[in-house]
Amino acid sequence: MQRFDVVVVGGGPAGAVTARIAAEAGAVVLLLERRTRIEEPSACAGLISPRTLSVLGVSDACVVRRPRGVSFHAPGGGVLSVRTTTDRALVVDRSILESELLARARDVGVDVRLGATATGWRDGVVRFEGAASEETAVGAVLVGADGPESQVAAWAGLPNAGSLRALQVEAESADPEPDGVCVYVGHLIAPEFFAWSIPAQAGCTRIGLAVSDLIDPAPYLDSLLAQRFPNHRIVSRIEARIPIPSPRRTTADGVLLVGDAAGHVKPLSGGGIYFGGLCARVAGRAAARAAKEPHDQTEHLLYYEDACRALIGPETRFGATARSIRDALDDDDWSRIFAILNHRDLLALVAERIDLDHLRHMVPHLLSRPRLWRPLFALWDIVRVRTREPGGIAGPHDEFL
């Protein structure tokens, strides 16, 4: 039986960054990843901000596209298009990204085990199945970076986040806008979320959507493909879960959750790489300190939760409110909203100021332009009606993070 200061379950971006930062802080770290090959298809759309690369601590070798445009498509056929002159978003190859992250973890001494599935944890002892047999390891701190249906959370008595069902394909000869991202909204397209198409490697497009947990996403994606991408040829197809952020604990005695397992995702878009990376840097330092100073372990873990609230709490609250408004809209509302937002000055401002990681920062820019007040008041009239209806948006979200 081997002894480690920190055992990380899950080798995705959040797990790999947590393990690397903990090792850099002096901890002896074991990382368990159930996949035997990082090249397996991913349901991740792979659309991130440029700053995400520096947060994760990786190069731009994983970048496959630098889209300069995004178009939003309403159920009734309306389209809003925004084009930027600088890199506001990057499309990454998830397998290249994760391979580099794991390589950097190994470089600082992390014991990375691929094909190792964690099967249980109790009193600091982790059981896992390797390539040949079941093994055990003792770890002072256990980190759950194992997704929205986290086994680590279950072992520690921590609640799992709710989740959406996402389905994505990679298709050849599909994208009508090879240099831009497309977003499709409406209940007939993707109930309680949205659909997307994102240009990836040359000749390849990622097309997907997410729906509520009780709905099968396959008929909706098949309908989208038939209507919007009649000439597509599917290369891969994979379903996954997108966690829904919720007010809940992410630490227990000797355990912390990070990334999707902790619900560190943007409520409006479901993107988790940036938020997960920010919190993973804190998680690695907190886990190393908690392992080295067992008498202050609880204090270090509580510090981790407080630090994550400070890092992503404001944007999470804003996104949660925006998501509730979005989910309350019907398809007629969307058509009216698109007509209101099809305003040259407004779209120009969005193109100039949009930030994938900090959408709330758009608000003061919008309010500072008096010529935009008329469309904003018209938009508010629609939102105000929906918020007053039974089943409309669910009150303030100050409890989030």
Residue 365, classified by CB atoms within 10 Å of its CB into exposed (0-12), middle (13-18) or buried (19+), is: middle
Same domain for 179 and 164, yes or no, is yes
Tell me how far apart the alpha carbons of residues 397 and 244 are, in angstroms, rounded to a whole number.
13
Same domain for 273 and 356, yes or no, is no
Q: What is the pTM of this model?
A: 0.93
Tell me how far apart the alpha carbons of residues 334 and 337 are, in angstroms, rounded to a whole number.
5
Tell me how far apart the alpha carbons of residues 264 and 387 are, in angstroms, rounded to a whole number.
26
Task: Report how far apart, in Å, the C-alpha atoms of 306 and of each of 24, 159, 246, 312, 313 are.
Answer: 22, 18, 15, 10, 10
Tell me how far apart the alpha carbons of residues 1 and 350 are, in angstroms, rounded to a whole number.
56
Structure tokens at 398: 């100050």
Is the separation of the CB atoms in 149 and 159 below 8 Å?
Answer: no
Same domain for 326 and 313, yes or no, is no
For 330-345, letters b (16+ CB in 10 Å) and e give: eeebbebbbebbebee
150 part of a folded domain? yes
Instruction: Provide the domain limits for residue 69.
Output: 2-320
401 part of a folded domain? no
Residue 383: closest CA among 317, 329, 316: 329
Residue where a domain stops, chosen among 320, 336, 356? 320
Residue where a domain stops, chosen among 320, 350, 372? 320
Question: What angle in degrees, to the nearest 10, is found between the helix axes of 373-388 and 297-328?
Answer: 100
Tell me how far apart the alpha carbons of residues 326 and 320 are, in angstroms, rounded to a whole number.
10
Tell me how far apart the alpha carbons of residues 305 and 20 are, in angstroms, rounded to a whole number.
19
Q: Which amino acid would we find at residue 301?
A: L
400 part of a folded domain? no
Question: DSSP 3-state assignment of 283?
Answer: helix
Is the separation of the CB atoms in 223 and 186 below 8 Å?
Answer: no
Same domain for 109 and 215, yes or no, is yes
Structure tokens at 234: 């599917």
395 part of a folded domain? no
Same domain for 253 and 370, yes or no, is no
Q: Which pLDDT score is estimated for 399?
A: 43
Q: Which pLDDT score is estimated for 175?
A: 52
Return the number of other C-beta atoms located less than 10 Å from residue 176's C-beta: 12
DSSP 324: H
Residue where a domain stops, chosen among 272, 300, 320? 320
Instruction: Bin 396: left if φ > 0, else alpha if -120 < ψ < 50, else beta.
Output: beta
- E strand or H helix at 180: strand 180-184
62 part of a folded domain? yes
Task: Report how far apart, in Å, the C-alpha atoms of 247 and of each of 207, 230, 320, 387, 390 are.
Answer: 31, 42, 11, 22, 23
Tell me how far apart the alpha carbons of residues 324 and 193 are, in angstroms, rounded to a whole number.
10
Tell me how far apart the alpha carbons of residues 352 and 84 are, in angstroms, rounded to a whole number.
7
393 part of a folded domain? no
Same domain for 293 and 340, yes or no, is no
Is the separation of the CB atoms in 382 and 335 below 8 Å?
Answer: no
Same domain for 353 and 298, yes or no, is no
Q: What angle do CA 285, 286, 291 make, to 5 degrees?
A: 100
Is the separation of the CB atoms in 189 and 75 below 8 Å?
Answer: yes
The most distant pair of C-alpha atoms in the chain lies apart, rounded to whole Å, by 68
Per-residue pLDDT of the chain (401 residues), as tens digits, is 789 999 999 999 999 999 999 999 999 999 999 998 887 666 689 999 999 999 999 999 999 999 999 999 999 899 999 999 889 999 999 999 999 999 999 999 999 999 999 999 998 999 999 877 889 999 999 999 999 999 999 999 998 878 999 999 999 865 555 678 999 999 999 998 999 999 998 888 999 999 999 999 999 999 999 999 988 889 999 999 999 988 889 999 999 999 999 999 999 999 999 999 999 999 999 999 999 999 999 999 999 999 999 999 999 999 999 999 999 999 999 999 999 999 999 999 999 999 999 999 999 999 999 999 999 999 999 988 877 765 555 444 444 44
Same domain for 334 and 314, yes or no, is no
* Strand partners for 182: 71, 197
Tell me how far apart the alpha carbons of residues 312 and 328 are, in angstroms, rounded to a whole number.
24
Q: Which pLDDT score is estimated for 378?
A: 94
397 part of a folded domain? no
398 part of a folded domain? no
Is the separation of the CB atoms in 269 and 198 below 8 Å?
Answer: no
Same domain for 89 and 13, yes or no, is yes
Same domain for 289 and 354, yes or no, is no
Same domain for 189 and 90, yes or no, is yes
Query: Phi/psi of residue 94, each to 5°?
Result: -60, -35
Q: Which residue has the tokens 């943007």?
A: 266
Is the separation of the CB atoms in 307 and 280 below 8 Å?
Answer: no
The number of distinct structural domains making up the chain is 2
CA 336 vs. chain centroid, Å, equals 29
CATH number, domain containing residue 231: 3.50.50.60
Tell me how far apart the alpha carbons of residues 366 and 84 are, in angstroms, rounded to a whole number.
17
Same domain for 145 and 62, yes or no, is yes
Is the separation of the CB atoms in 105 and 16 below 8 Å?
Answer: yes
